[in-house]
Amino acid sequence: MISFWEKDSFIQYDLIIAGSGIVGLSTAIEFKEKNPSKSVLILEKGIFPTGASTKNAGFACFGSLTEIIDDLQHYSEDIVLSTVEKRYKGLEKLKNRLTNFPFDYHQYGGYELISNEQLHYLDQLQEVNKLLEPIFKAPVFLNVSDKIAAFKFSNAHVQQLLFNQFEGQIHTGKMMKGLLSKARQLDIEIITGVEVIDFYDEENRVIVQAHHELQKVDFYSEQLCICINGFTNRLLPQLNVNPGRGQVLITSPIQNLPFKGTFHYDRGYYYFRNVGDRVLFGGGRHLDYEGETTTSLQTTPYIQQQLESLLKEVILPKNDFTIDMRWSGIMGFGDQKAPIVKLLSDRIGIGVRMGGMGVAIGSEVGTQLAGIM
Ligand SMILES: Cc1cc2nc3c(=O)[nH]c(=O)nc-3n(C[C@H](O)[C@H](O)[C@H](O)COP(=O)(O)OP(=O)(O)OC[C@H]3O[C@@H](n4cnc5c(N)ncnc54)[C@H](O)[C@@H]3O)c2cc1C
């Protein structure tokens, strides 16, 4: 039961957003900047954002050569090009949005490790560079295989190495703290530990039912945005968005770590980067698609062991290392790569299905979603 004071001051808003990941925060910030007099509340189920935005690898990327070539087999050139462009623009937007909140953006460049079985992808390198030229105005993918020895990768597994000067890396935690600080600066209210469990679209308002371990509260709002990505099917099972767990590990600091940058391996099924002197390594979802279609934030011995042995055999064959931490996060996937950004009714909008590159596209989706509300 709520009090008169609570009813008067705490439960009525112009816009409520479910989910405080990169999409929910970007939507809130964009909306409030355009509508400073409107009240905005974000309801977040976790103690802090707890889906993918605080768990990811921090690649500021827009697609590796093999991924783009694979995409061209399933989608038209226009769709592939516009997806790359939206990711690239999203990164620019994120940098602009966080101008006053440093989040360790470093453009060390991105690399792709090419094995024997993938050598045929190199035949299309020039073609893909030409396709991307209108966006980047310069060749994106360059062959830098002469660096394999200096990076000390296993020669048996890595035949060629490609370099992309436009790719960067971020400190994921600082990026999310920056977005949270910016939201608070704009007087956006954020309540954590509260799960949106249902919503009702009435003629002149939306009722948002929220659950906290101590109580259930109905909030009222002019409009509602649902930005819960990998958890979408709990609220909207009719939409085509499935959870996909991603597992990672990070090593302790490694003396004389021979490389710096972001790295894609085995057509993007695996990825790694330096975090200072450490190596963060993730992927392997394809080893158990069924088991990884889950919202459970666990790690599994099978995938973690595979990550560890690839790290030892392929990436750091000449360095000793220990694993410092392991964790997982939940992404949202569907039968198409593009995010779902649309109105479900006059008052309810949705921005979900970010796939594996939400850092890149999440800011752009926030702008789009705020724009249609
Ligand atoms: C291990 C891993 C590595 C990744 N690496 C990269 C990378 O290097 N580069 C890149 O671009 N992308 C990467 N991604 C993907 C990227 O992190 C996501 O696409 C992006 O963070 C999605 O943002 P979001 O705001 O849509 O979702 P989320 O960050 O998942 O935010 C959704 C929020 O909604 C909350 N929520 C859920 N249900 C409810 C509810 N009912 N009520 C209230 N709140 C709710 C959740 O707790 C969560 O905080 C990675 C993802 C993972 C898991």
Instruction: List, for residues 291-336, the tens digit of each pLDDT value.
Output: 999 999 999 999 999 999 999 999 999 999 999 999 999 999 998 8
What is the architecture of the domain spanning 4-54+174-240+336-372? 3-Layer(bba) Sandwich (3.50)
Candidates 21, 44, 42; CA nearest to 31 is 42
pLDDT at 191: 97
Q: What is the mean pLDDT of residues 15-21?
A: 98
The answer on pLDDT for 208 being more than 90 is: yes
* Proportion of the chain above pLDDT 90, given as a percent: 95
CATH topology of domain 59-170+242-333: D-Amino Acid Oxidase; Chain A, domain 2 (3.30.9)
Q: Which of 44, 171, 232 to mutate to test the pocket of ligand 1 (most atoms within 8 A of CB)?
A: 44
Cβ atoms within 10 Å of 335's Cβ, excluding its own: 8
Count the residues in the chain: 373
Rounded CA separation 58/271 (Å): 11
The residue to mutate among 50, 167, 194, 228, having the most atoms of ligand 1 within 8 angstroms of its beta carbon, is 228
Whether the per-residue pLDDT at 69 is higher than 90: the answer is yes
Give me the pLDDT at residue 330, please: 98
Q: Ligand 1 center to residue 230 CA distance, Å?
A: 7
Ligand 1 mutation target, pool 45, 86, 279, most atoms within 8 A of CB: 45
The pLDDT value recorded for residue 214 is 84
What DSSP assignment string belongs to 84-132? HHHHHHHHHHHHHHTTTS----B---EEEEE-GGGGGGGGGHHHHHHHH
Q: What is the average pLDDT value for the chain, to the nearest integer?
A: 96
Q: Whose CA is nearest to atom 20 of ligand 1?
A: 358
What's the 3 CA to ligand 1 centre distance in angstroms?
35
- Give the model's pLDDT for residue 156: 92
Pocket of ligand 1 (CB under 6 A): 18-24, 43-46, 49-53, 55-59, 61, 195-196, 227-231, 235, 246, 248, 282, 329, 331, 354, 356-360, 362
CA of 226 to the centre of ligand 1 (A): 13
Rounded to an integer, the average pLDDT of 53-75 is 95
Q: Are strands 278-283 and 242-251 parallel, antiparallel or unpaired?
A: antiparallel
Query: Would you give the distance in Å from CA 196 to the centre of its chain?
Result: 21
pLDDT at 213: 86
Q: How far is the CA of 132 from the centre of ligand 1 (A)?
A: 28
Mean pLDDT, range 127-142, rounded to an integer: 96
Q: How far apart are CA 35 and CA 29, in angstroms?
A: 10
Domain boundaries, the chain: 4-54+174-240+336-372, 59-170+242-333
pLDDT in the model for residue 120? 97
pLDDT at residue 336, as a whole number: 86
